[in-house]
Amino acid sequence: MKKKILLTTLVVTTLAGCNHETEEENLDDVTMTQEKVEQKNELQYDKFKMEDDTLYLKNGDEESEVTLTHSDDVLIKQKTTTNSTYEARGYKDKTDAKKKLIEENEALKKNQDGVEYNLDLRDKDFTETLTIDYENADLNLVANIPEDEDTEGVYISYDQMKNTLFMRGYYTEGEATANFEAQEEIEGTGTIERKDNEVIAFNMDVVLPYESQELTKDEAVEQFTPLQKYYKEMSKKEGIDLSLSFEENGMHFKQNVDYEEADAEDVFKIEHVDETPTKKDLKKLREYSNQVEMFSRYGLLYKEK
């Protein structure tokens, strides 16, 4: 299944916060000077604390890089560069790509105050670059805030933006362990150890309620007992430890994989029982974003420590 990295700010209204000024102001005071009104509308942050953080995403033939310029929690600028191929996106050719790429978010992909969009189309691949300067951009447009909602004093939260990117499979350079927690009625946790985009090891411990699979316990036992036996056989292989049990509250899945000991083809067959992996499958298997996607299918999402 083809996946695409959407070139977007990834901002939703929950990412918006408010600047708090030290000076007490009465917004209903009709005597407020024009100077104070202009000051209120400016993005408030400490310029001496400005810094850049860069996050990366690799998904098959697509790569994305996001640089976040911020001061404490205030996001000042965001630059997203995406490299991909026409084949990866399912485009016929350069002409088809240009039309569909613009249509994906036509309102945003127009150069305007605070927004700069560039598209470089080549013979087989392309590069999209979107830069948003939150000091000058229309937040109603770039942050999906309704047009009738006042954006005065509103800013985009750097911390929440970064966590949103992490939840979508973005990562920072170097070695790290990412933690994941189950959502809503699902119980469980998971961790992924990685170096840059390459997964070193992962573990998952999740209970999926029978109701979430639209099954009774008896139906689940009948349907998933073959998988339970398969897990036992797979656990005999180096670097792989799997289990499936049928608890009162749901199916209890455990997966522990150490890529330094396990054979990649065996790991692939944990989720693809009857398939033979291609070289492309095995290359993608250890990508961090691929593992994040697998966790999400079990209801696990990235959780900041």
**Range of 203's domain?**
175-302
Tell me, yes or no, whether 210 and 273 share the same domain: yes
Q: What is the CATH number of the domain that holds 65?
A: 3.30.1830.10
Tell me, yes or no, whether 116 and 194 share the same domain: no
Tell me, yes or no, whether 137 and 31 share the same domain: yes
Residue 3 inside a domain? The answer is: no
Contact by Cβ (8 Å): 290, 171: no
Residue 7 inside a domain? The answer is: no
* Domain end marker among 167, 202, 223: 167
Tell me, yes or no, whether 142 and 185 share the same domain: no
List the structure tokens of 63. Answer: 């790569």
Tell me, yes or no, whether 181 and 158 share the same domain: no
Residue 191 inside a domain? The answer is: yes
- In the chain, the number of structural domains is 2
* pLDDT digits (tens), the chain, 305 positions: 333 333 333 433 222 333 433 333 332 332 222 332 233 346 778 888 999 999 999 998 999 999 999 999 999 999 999 999 999 999 999 999 988 988 877 767 776 888 898 999 999 999 999 999 988 888 777 776 566 666 666 788 999 999 999 999 999 999 999 999 998 889 999 999 999 999 999 999 999 999 999 999 999 999 999 999 999 999 999 999 999 999 999 999 999 999 999 999 999 999 999 899 999 999 999 999 999 999 999 999 999 87
Tell me, yes or no, whether 18 and 161 share the same domain: yes
Residue 8 inside a domain? The answer is: no
- DSSP assignments along the chain, one per residue: -------S----GGGEEE---SS---TT-TT--HHHHHHHHSPP--GGGEEEEEEEEEETTEEEEEEEEEETTEEEEEEEEEEEEHHHHT-SSHHHHHHHHHHHTTTTSS-BTTEEEEEEE-SSEEEEEEEEETTTS-HHHHT---TTS--TTEEEBHHHHHHHHHHTT-B-SSEEEEEEEE-TT-EEEEEEEEETTEEEEEEEEEEE-GGGGT--HHHHHHHHHHHHHHHHHHTTSTTEEEEEEE-SSSEEEEEEEETTTS-HHHHHHHH-TT-PPPHHHHHHHTBHHHHHHHHHHTTEEE---
Residue 6 inside a domain? The answer is: no
